């Protein structure tokens, strides 16, 4: 094994949002290849301007970019890369390539308060899309003569993938890197096909695993199915129910559940379902009318009595009318962490009311608005978009719709690749990563020095393990 044949990986992010990895592959010939895995925008309210405004690399030196799925915290900075001179291909799955345009449009319309402008302009978005290459699942892509990339299904989201990166050189032992991406072993909308046995038996040099729920098991109360009961109780009490959603994934799943509750006659017949968000509605349309691999019948997920907020000049007046109405209703609106998107309108105008339930559908980062709301006591005043908002609404949270597996299922995923030499933990709060590190150290037959968190931001990956640089 040559010490001159390795892949150096640098974590740009250390927590949940803003997923971003730089790879530098070093060959014995002295040549190097650089590429990115993910190019995500950071979400929240603190210290994100520098992160989202500029990427500290020579973008023109990058050979290619790999994208695991189309959530904004994984794709939002692709246009910034283009602005800085990146001209290579952007590889993702075929379904993700069809969904990517909608997600990227957020870069051109979300105003980053720290940047005091949008993250990208429309021309940059369009140029980004022209460089996207959609690949079938299980088919080897060869972006470089010594590097292949293979995508496998992942239940996190339509088009999401688990990724195998294979790096070869002459007679050297290959370097195999697996990225779980944001990972879920199942999905309401499609059947998740696992990688074939031949892939799972490869000697994996480094397995990069997410850790959003790396501190809890499937049986934890966080995953208790409470959304239905909480929603029905609130509606029966005459409440307005608000679901902050992510435009793709949880938004459609919540709509489908509401449709089931209607069929079961659990929801009052006059309950209006208010659907807001330009991106969410675009995704709804695409899932319904495009071949994205969803189960038969699952493309028809819209409930009865649905009112879609239009995208035109009438939007403001209709939103005001919705809030003025005392009729029972469920409002679904992006974004899921309460910090961006049309949900900001509803939080500002509803949080002070005691006949409102704002129900989080999953994880909220500690610097997000949803986190503040969930932690706020009745009558407490919080700062929100420069305003003082007195919180009198009810709040609740459930992870039953989470698009992330808890630690016991993530362990099972790693164990399904029995020849894994090392594991790198990412995409979780640092304390949760630390907890997950201890959990994996107790359950995997891998030396503790070969299990790292994103706090060890730079490592070298060899055929049979890793070397920590810092």
Tell me which of 87-91, 266-270, 366-370, 401-405 is least confident: 366-370
Cβ(465)–Cβ(203) under 8 Å? no
For residues 177 and 169, give the distance between their C-alpha atoms in angstroms, rounded to a whole number: 15
Domain boundaries, the chain: 6-216+403-468, 236-397
Query: When comparing pLDDT for 14 and 131, which is higher?
Result: 131
pLDDT above 90 covers a percentage of the chain that reads 73
pLDDT of residue 163: 98
pLDDT exceeds cutoff 60 at 45? no
Residue 70 is encoded by which pair of tokens? 């189309």
pLDDT of residue 142: 97
> What are 194-243's pLDDT values in tens digits?
899 999 999 999 999 999 999 999 988 788 899 999 999 999 999 999 99
Average pLDDT, the chain: 92
> What are 387-437's pLDDT values in tens digits?
899 999 999 999 999 999 999 999 999 999 999 999 999 999 999 999 999
Of these ranges, 22-31, 366-375, 377-386, the one predicted with the greatest mean pLDDT is: 22-31
Model pTM score: 0.91
pLDDT of residue 461: 98
Question: Region 168-192: what's the mean pLDDT?
Answer: 96
pLDDT of residue 116: 63
Helices and strands per DSSP (H, E), number in the chain? 14, 25
**6-216+403-468 and 236-397 have identical folds:** no
Fold of 6-216+403-468: Metallo-beta-lactamase; Chain A (3.60.15)
- Sheet (strand 21-26) strand order: 132-135, 90-93, 62-66, 32-37, 21-26, 6-11, 458-462, 465-468
- Sheet (strand 147-153) strand order: 141-144, 147-153, 161-167, 175-179, 206-210, 423-426, 451-452
Q: Which CATH architecture has domain 236-397?
A: 3-Layer(aba) Sandwich (3.40)
Number of Cβ atoms within 10 Å of the Cβ of 46: 11
pLDDT of residue 52: 74
Rg of the Cα trace of the chain? Answer: 22
> Which pLDDT band, with edges at 50, 70 and 90, does 117 fall under?
low
Cβ(339)–Cβ(44) under 8 Å? yes
pLDDT of residue 95: 95
DSSP category for residue 317 = H
> What are 429-458's pLDDT values in tens digits?
999 999 999 999 999 999 999 999 998 889
Question: Region 347-362: what's the mean pLDDT?
Answer: 94
> Which pLDDT band, with edges at 50, 70 and 90, does 115 fall under?
low
> What are 236-270's pLDDT values in tens digits?
999 999 999 999 999 999 999 999 999 999 998 88
> Which pLDDT band, with edges at 50, 70 and 90, does 41 fall under?
confident
**E strand or H helix at 257:** helix 250-263
pLDDT exceeds cutoff 60 at 1? no
List alpha helices for 161-249, DSSP H.
Answer: 197-200, 227-236
Contacts of residue 197, defined as CB under 8 A and 6 or more positions apart, other chains included, come to none
pLDDT exceeds cutoff 60 at 56? yes
pLDDT of residue 369: 86
Residue 181 is encoded by which pair of tokens? 């991406």
> Which pLDDT band, with edges at 50, 70 and 90, does 283 fall under?
very high
**E strand or H helix at 253:** helix 250-263
pLDDT of residue 118: 75
């Amino acid at each position: 094994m040559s010490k001159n044949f390795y892949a150096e990986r640098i974590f740009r992010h250390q927590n949940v949002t803003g997923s971003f990895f730089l790879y530098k592959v070093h060959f014995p010939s002295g040549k190097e290849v650089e590429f990115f895995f993910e190019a995500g925008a950071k979400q929240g309210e603190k210290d994100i301007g520098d992160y989202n405004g500029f990427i500290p690399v020579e973008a023109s030196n990058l050979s290619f970019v790999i994208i695991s799925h189309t959530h904004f915290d994984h794709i939002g900075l692709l246009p910034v890369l283009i602005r800085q001179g990146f001209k290579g291909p952007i590889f993702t799955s075929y379904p993700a390539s069809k969904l990517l345009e909608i997600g990227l449009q957020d870069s051109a319309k979300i105003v980053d308060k720290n940047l005091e402008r949008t993250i990208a302009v429309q021309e940059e978005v369009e140029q980004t899309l022209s460089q996207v290459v959609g690949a079938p699942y299980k088919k080897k892509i060869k972006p470089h003569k010594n590097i292949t990339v293979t995508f496998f299904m992942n239940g996190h989201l339509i088009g999401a993938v688990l990724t195998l990166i294979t790096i070869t050189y002459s007679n050297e032992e290959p370097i195999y890197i697996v990225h779980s991406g944001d990972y879920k072993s199942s999905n309401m909308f499609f059947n998740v096909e696992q990688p074939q046995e031949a892939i799972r038996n490869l000697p994996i040099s480094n397995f990069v695993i997410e850790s959003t729920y790396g501190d809890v098991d499937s049986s934890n109360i966080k995953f208790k199915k409470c959304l239905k009961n909480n929603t029905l109780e609130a509606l029966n009490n005459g409440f307005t129910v608000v679901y902050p959603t992510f435009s793709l994934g949880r938004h459609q799943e919540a709509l489908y559940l509401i449709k089931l509750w209607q069929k079961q006659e659990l929801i009052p017949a006059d309950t209006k379902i208010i659907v807001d968000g330009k991106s969410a509605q675009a995704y709804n349309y695409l899932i319904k009318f495009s071949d994205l691999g969803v189960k038969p019948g699952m493309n028809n997920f819209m409930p009865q009595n649905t009112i879609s907020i239009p995208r035109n000049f009438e939007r403001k007046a209709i939103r005001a009318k919705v809030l003025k109405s005392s009729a029972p209703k469920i409002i679904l609106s992006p974004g899921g962490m309460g910090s961006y998107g049309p949900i900001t309108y509803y939080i500002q105008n509803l949080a002070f009311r005691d006949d409102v339930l704002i129900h989080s559908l999953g994880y909220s980062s500690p610097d997000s608005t949803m986190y503040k709301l969930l932690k706020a006591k009745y009558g407490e005043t919080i700062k929100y978009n420069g305003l003082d908002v007195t919180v009198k609404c009810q709040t609740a949270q459930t992870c039953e719709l989470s698009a992330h597996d808890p630690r016991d299922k993530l362990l099972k995923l790693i164990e399904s690749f029995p020849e894994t030499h090392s594991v790198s933990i990412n995409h979780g709060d640092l304390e949760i990563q630390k907890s997950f590190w201890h959990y994996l150290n107790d359950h995997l037959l891998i030396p503790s020095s070969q299990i790292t968190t994103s706090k060890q931001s730079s490592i070298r990956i060899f055929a049979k393990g890793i070397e920590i640089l810092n």
